[in-house]
Amino acid sequence: MDTDMVNRLLDFQPTTWGDFRDKAIAELLYSSGLRLSELCQLNTSDISLESRICRVLGKGKKEREVPIGSLAIKALQTWYDHRELKLEKMNEQFSSTKMVSELALDLFKIF
């Protein structure tokens, strides 16, 4: 990915629930330097907005704490808020804690 493409991705203004999720994922990847394989395994419970860290299982099954940048924190909080609103409207229980599903797998194939 060249610099222009990264800037366009990070400047993207989300309008849908999925857009907010995708923006949060992009900001998290950019600010934390996570590997895509680590992102694919990430659960929302692995992220602490208050501490500004996420716990990841890296190479060799070693757990490590990774700092999260302020723009990623803001994007994650915005996504969480939109996610809650969507779930309330759907009036369903959300059983999965996976932060990333098909999007990360698609990105992983690209890179």
Q: What is the pLDDT of residue 100?
A: 62
Per-residue model confidence (pLDDT) at position 60: 87
Q: What pLDDT sits at residue 107? A: 57
**What pLDDT shows up at residue 52?**
97
pLDDT of residue 28: 93
Q: Is the dihedral of CA 109, 37, 48, 94 positive or negative?
A: positive
Distance in angstroms (rounded) separating the CA atoms of residues 69 and 53: 9
- State residue 37's pLDDT score: 86
| Residues across the chain | 111
Question: What pLDDT sits at residue 12?
Answer: 82
Question: Longest Cα pair distance anywhere in the chain, in angstroms?
Answer: 42
| pLDDT beneath 50: ranges in the chain | 93-95, 111
**What is the set of domains in the chain, with CATH numbers?**
3-110 (1.10.443.10)
Task: Say what the pLDDT of residue 32 is.
Answer: 93
Can you spell out the DSSP letters for 8-63?
A: HHHH----SHHHHHHHHHHHHHHHH---HHHHHH-BGGGEETTTTEEEEE-GGG-E
- Report whether 105 contacts 39 (CB < 8 A): no
pTM of the shown model: 0.72
Alpha-carbon span 57 to 37, nearest angstrom: 9
